[in-house]
């Protein structure tokens, strides 16, 4: 495929999917009903959720310093914070463009080589994936019986078993092929996997590894609190268990990768997760929209301010140093 067409499709397809999912979610709950939920919502919980989200982004910016310092770069915290918020905002336009922009901001204002800055972003994503995996395991442990019974009632358990066996065999064969194969694809994937492993292990070799691990856990604790306390804003959702919250949070988190910033996909993902536990669709979708809109508004405000203030902040710092 033509590289130009491929790049265009990467931008257009997530946007089209987002538009479709916006229509789909609003077909499940009308704008009038959504307005009623917005009107009845307890906004102190929404504000608290936004505050927790804000803390997670600050922690992410501070954690970044620990990864850059061993390479000899002591960047200003202000640039790190603004780069993080700007990256989140830019991700709403072109998928994953925020990570590139974030590394570019350090290159422009802190003289950190792009490839090094981008490499640290990839490494921190690996750490985040590890925490997400732990959250998934905890959610499955807490809600295993419920989830198992849900699928057992709707799908033939024999078929599920056969699929699980085939999937396991396929994974084993694939891993064996990657480990021993000498084709270009196998070598490329093996190199990628080795790089991921090396990136994970580098965290434990870091001089400030414990502060890094603390901030990684803190970031995800704030994400979970952000999701959990915002659910209190909807009367119909009060009293949902931690297990339900975890499953909803996991589903919503993966939805962000499906469309730009989770546009349209976030409320649908929350609805699909909550429906497993018999929670009504109207409050589920309303909560998804409130959750997504409140966090998006924060990103728009602080991301926009960051893009505007970055050159001013660095010009002032340069004048002071001169």
Instruction: List, as one string, the DSSP characters of 183-214.
Output: SHHHHHHHHHHHHHHHHHHHHHHSTTHHHHHH
pLDDT for res 226: 95
pLDDT for res 56: 96
Ordered per-residue pLDDT tens for the chain, 322 residues: 555 565 555 556 655 655 666 665 666 666 777 778 888 889 999 999 999 999 999 999 999 998 888 778 888 999 999 999 999 988 887 767 888 889 899 888 888 888 888 888 888 888 888 899 898 888 888 776 766 666 666 566 666 667 678 778 777 777 776 677 777 777 777 666 665 565 556 566 677 888 898 999 999 999 999 999 999 999 888 878 888 888 899 988 888 877 777 788 888 889 888 888 888 888 888 899 999 999 999 999 999 999 999 988 888 877 766 5
Rg, C-alpha atoms of the chain = 22
Q: How far, in Å, CA of 227 to CA of 248, rounded?
A: 9
pLDDT for res 7: 56
Q: How far, in Å, CA of 267 to CA of 316, rounded?
A: 42
**DSSP string covering 148-184:** HHHHHHHS-HHHHHHHHHHHHHHHHHHHHHHHH--SH
pTM of the predicted structure, to 2 decimals: 0.79
pLDDT for res 165: 80
Contact between 84 and 102 (Cβ < 8 Å): yes
Q: How far, in Å, CA of 82 to CA of 205, rounded?
A: 28
pLDDT for res 196: 55
pLDDT tens track for 197-228: 655 565 666 778 888 989 999 999 999 999 99
Q: How far, in Å, CA of 94 to CA of 184, rounded?
A: 30
pLDDT for res 159: 66
Q: Which two tokens stand for residue 266?
A: 């976030």
């Amino acid at each position: 495929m033509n590289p130009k067409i491929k790049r265009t499709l990467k931008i257009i397809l997530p946007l089209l999917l987002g538009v479709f999912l916006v229509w789909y979610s609003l077909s499940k709950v009308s704008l009038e009903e959504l307005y009623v939920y917005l009107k009845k919502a307890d906004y102190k919980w929404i504000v608290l959720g936004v505050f927790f989200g804000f803390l997670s982004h600050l922690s992410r910016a501070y954690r970044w310093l620990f990864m850059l310092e061993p390479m000899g770069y002591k960047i200003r915290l202000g640039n790190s914070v603004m780069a993080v918020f700007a990256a989140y905002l830019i991700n709403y336009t072109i998928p994953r463009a925020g990570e590139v922009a974030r590394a570019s901001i350090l290159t422009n204002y802190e003289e950190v080589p792009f490839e090094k800055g981008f490499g640290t972003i990839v490494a921190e994503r690996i750490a985040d994936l590890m925490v997400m995996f732990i959250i998934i395991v905890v959610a499955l442990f807490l809600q295993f019986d419920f989830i198992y019974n849900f699928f057992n009632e709707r799908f033939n358990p024999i078929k599920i078993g056969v699929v699980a066996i085939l999937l396991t065999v396929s994974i084993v064969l694939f891993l064996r092929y990657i480990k021993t194969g000498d084709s270009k694809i196998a070598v490329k994937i093996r190199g990628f996997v080795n790089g991921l492993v090396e990136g994970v292990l580098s965290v434990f070799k870091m001089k400030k590894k414990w502060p890094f691990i603390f901030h990684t856990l803190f970031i995800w604790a704030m994400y979970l609190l952000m999701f959990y306390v915002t659910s209190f804003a909807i009367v119909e959702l009060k009293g949902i268990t931690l297990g339900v919250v975890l499953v909803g949070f996991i589903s919503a988190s993966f939805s962000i990768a499906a469309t730009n910033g989770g546009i349209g996909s976030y409320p649908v993902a929350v609805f699909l997760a909550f429906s497993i536990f018999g929670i009504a669709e109207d409050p589920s979708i309303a909560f998804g929209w409130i959750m997504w809109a409140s966090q998006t508004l924060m990103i728009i405000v602080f991301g926009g301010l960051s893009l505007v203030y970055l050159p001013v902040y660095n010009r002032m710092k340069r004048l002071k140093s001169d």
